[in-house]
Amino acid sequence: MTLLLANIHEQIGNEVAVTDWVELDQMQVNIFGEITRWAKRGHNDAEWAKEHSPHGGTLVHGFFMVSLVTHFLELGGLLYKDGKNPLNYGMDKVRILSPVVVGDGVRLRDRISVMDVQDKPDGRRLIKTAHQIEADGSEKPAAYVEYLNFWTRK
């Protein structure tokens, strides 16, 4: 089934996508730390973290993982062909569930479910999706996000 703005309400309660893996490396984590003004040793100093971090290396910023939600929506096919002008409306719940060590690189993917769809004036729809972000090789999810996205029908 093609996911469309017109039929996405039929998927409430269902997992609709498991995305491809997205690769992250220390350079990306360093850049994220710089632009968010949170370039702390536990995230951005690999040598220091190898010796001093209880995790054995630098960690991916929790907000970095959360910021990938819109990219995961695109990877999962939730940029609706019959919609336009998507707007980030925020998040209802965000939890960073386990640390993710960068090491020589790490892969993340997202399991996306549709939680709710609300019709709004002017042909708009507010769509709430649940995102369970996984790190390759970890049994526990790394993060959980409930994301709200406004769409307008074409």
Interval 112-117 mean pLDDT: 98
Euclidean distance between CA atoms 47 and 30, whole angstroms: 13
> In terms of C-beta distances under 8 Å and separation of at least 24 residues, what long-range contacts does 38-43 make, across chains too?
38/63
The domain limits of the chain are: 14-153
Q: Is the pLDDT of residue 95 over 80?
A: yes
How high does pLDDT run on average in the chain?
97
Q: Is the pLDDT of residue 77 over 80?
A: yes
- Identify the pLDDT of residue 137: 94
Are 1 and 7 in contact by the 8 Å Cβ rule? The answer is: yes
Please name the residue that has the structure tokens 């995790």.
Answer: 55
Q: Is the pLDDT of residue 5 over 90?
A: yes
The pTM of the full predicted model, rounded to 2 decimals, is: 0.95
- Identify the pLDDT of residue 39: 97
Q: Which CATH number fits domain 14-153: 3.40.50.2000, 3.30.420.40, 3.10.129.10, 3.30.360.10?
A: 3.10.129.10
Closest CA to 111 of 128, 132, 97, 95: 132
Closest CA to 15 of 110, 107, 126, 97: 110
- Identify the pLDDT of residue 106: 97
How far the first Cα of the chain sits from its last, in Å, is 20
Q: Is the pLDDT of residue 1 over 80?
A: no
